[in-house]
A and B are shown apart, each in its own frame.
Chain A
Amino acid sequence: MSEDAPKRAAELGIPEFPPDPADDFEWVPATRQVAGDLPEPPLIDWRTTSSSRRAFLRGVVCSGVAVSASAHLFTVRPSEARAAVRGVERLITLNINGKARRVDVPPSETLAQTIRYRLGLTGTKIGCNRAECGACTVLADDVPIYSCSTLTHQVRGKAITTVEGVAEPDGTLHPVQQAFIDELGPQCGFCTPGQVMSAVGLLKKNPAPTVDQARRALSGNLCRCGAYHHYLAGVMRAAGRA
């Protein structure tokens, strides 16, 4: 607040300013102020520690504990118990990235929810959750689909591939992934897993696409950063290698 502001306010007939709390606020780094003399929190290494939060989540989510852990998300209603008798079985085996995973899935759960929140494979993103962006694209028997608008129970018996499943087991990137890096495809990267899956799906079906075919195959994937040309160039580069 400038010094003569109260004076000008008085001249204009504006009632006196209330005191501005910012005026006598002394800024202290938040950690010191809040933590006081508590010990430093342990550093969590997100990449390597075997008990990292990610691995921990992945662990409980597929054990029985998961049901109660995520009960607030997936409330079991009596109707679902009945469904187990006459409708689909909730406990199913999903073939995902070449592995068989047992999961307990309510009938109304989407594949994106199962993949992310029960199997812990968070590479698959949820953007719109309405089949309008492509961030959630995965392959079902090598065909790209929107996992946000597919029930998990609809893909039973199909081989699901997510972005975690396209690289070689030794970590060598898939030609599409490598080409996207070489062509500087990702900017923020949020749409990238979906773009990768659409491109991998295209090359599985058509290893030597024309630019127009590639553009069409990627047309169901929005990129908010507008990196379309880079992704397209990536697909064409990968087509030479895949």
Chain B
Amino acid sequence: MTDYMHAFDLYVPASLEDAARLLEEHGENAWIVAGGKDSFDWFKDRHKQPQAVVDIGGLQELHGIRDHGSHIAIGATTTLTEMEESELLGEHFPVLTQAAAQVASPQIRNAGTIGGNVSQDTRCTYYRDGFPCYRAGGNACYANTPTAMNREHALFGVSRCVAVTPSDTAPALVALEAEMVISRNGTLRTVPSEEYFVGPDTDITRMTVLEAGDILVEVRIPWTWAGARSYFEKVADRQTWDFALVNIALVAKTEDNRVADARIACGGVQCTPRRLIEVEDLVKGETVGPDLETLAKRVAARGARALNYNQFKIPLVENLTARAVRSLA
């Protein structure tokens, strides 16, 4: 049934406070919608049927990109198009504008928000089709069987579930050491982007630290990597709509052809954005050039365990890493 969504109650709070109160009141029955580009597919398929839908898309206090001195704050309901076109972000953090520009299609970026992009659920087709798998609270993984179609699934960090993070902006945010500001009953807490994303070993039924009642307020980008060298590349079956098979985000500081510092993260290979820590350690202090590229390529996918149909992702990670390192030359 993909034509009509279930009948839900729609609430359009006028302030963050009202939104928090609504979430509190409806508890597990509440569902936040910002752009709705991830949510409405769930509703149309009827695999999720929350009774109270809270539309925070119009909350001005969660909207916009601002320079706060110590960091740049991106409000959770800022659209991906607004990020892509932001001069402030483009000037200092091109890796993030490039990532936002690669999401889905123009119309989805015009409505889809950064909050929704980092909080969206995985695209494992079995889970999305309503199979009662581990992630859905069941007792099996349908993607990790000898005949399952799992070319889009994980290489690393598997714990029963082999689903991957679908977001294009997430690896860029992890590379930039972004922080997520979360509101709960009026109190704010800050979570580093690396801890915001949750793997199946921590909790198999969710992708982020968000719990019922939590609202992501903004994403903060510290100045740490402003003006650094950067690289973003996404490989997908089609250039529009399709999710990344693998994407890579790199930021690096170089001094006369030597890498002083670097952070690299990959999406599409693990349930959370995967930092390529071995590659980071390897390139630090080294001179960029073909030798470094080859070495980086060798360690990039170390520890990967391919499933039946996703072996191709191993050379993909290796080659993307080599290209990212090459871009520093």
Instruction: Please give the residue numbers on chain A whose beta carbons come within 8 Å of chain B beta carbons, in ascending order.
Output: 73, 75, 77, 79-80, 82-83, 86-88, 106-108, 110, 113, 129-132, 134, 137, 143-146, 149-151, 153-154, 198, 216-217, 219-220
Contacts and interface: CB of A to CB of B under 8 A. Distances in A.
Interface stretch (B39-47, B137-145, B172-180, B213-221): B39-47
Contacts of B6: 108
B239 to A, nearest CB: 7
A151 B36 contact: yes
A146 B12 CA distance: 20
B111 A145 contact: yes
B170 to A, nearest CB: 20
Interface string B27-57: 0000001001100110110000001110101
B63 to A, nearest CB: 14
Contact of A134 (B2, B11, B53, B105): B105
B9 A219 contact: no
B123 to A, nearest CB: 12
Nearest to A129: B2
Contact of B108 (A73, A146, A198): A146
B9 A132 contact: no
B12 A144 contact: no
Given A107-B9, A108-B6, A108-B7, 15 more contacts: A83-B10, A86-B11, A87-B9, A88-B12, A106-B7, A108-B4, A131-B37, A144-B106, A144-B107, A149-B111, A151-B10, A151-B55, A153-B10, A220-B104, A220-B105
A87 B108 contact: no
Interface residues of B, number: 35
Contacts of A219: 105-106, 239-240
Interface string B67-111: 000000000000001000000000000000000000011111011
Contacts of A108: 4-8, 10, 43, 53
Contacts of A75: 7
Nearest to A217: B106
A134 B107 contact: yes
A88 B36 contact: no
A80 B108 CA distance: 28
Contacts, number: 101
B3 A107 contact: no
B309 interface: no
Nearest to B43: A108
A82 B9 contact: yes
A93 B12 CA distance: 16
B84 to A, nearest CB: 11
A149 B37 contact: yes
A75 B5 CA distance: 12
B106 A198 contact: yes
Nearest to B101: A216
B240 A153 contact: no
Q: Pick the 7 closest A-B CB pairs, nearest first.
A: A220-B105, A107-B10, A83-B9, A108-B5, A87-B9, A220-B107, A220-B106
Contacts of A150: 36, 111
Contacts of B312: none
B54 to A, nearest CB: 10
B55 A153 contact: yes
Contact of A154 (B5, B55, B105): B55
B108 A107 contact: no
Contacts of A107: 7-10, 53
A107 B50 CA distance: 13
Contact of B107 (A73, A110, A131): A131
Contacts of B241: 132, 220
Nearest to B6: A108
Contacts of A86: 9, 11
B36 A154 contact: yes
B107 A88 contact: no
A177 to B, nearest CB: 20
Given A107-B53, A220-B107, A80 B7 contact: yes
Contacts of B2: 129-130
Contacts of A82: 9
14 contacts: A79-B51, A108-B43, A110-B40, A129-B2, A130-B41, A134-B105, A145-B111, A146-B107, A149-B36, A149-B111, A151-B36, A154-B55, A219-B106, A220-B107
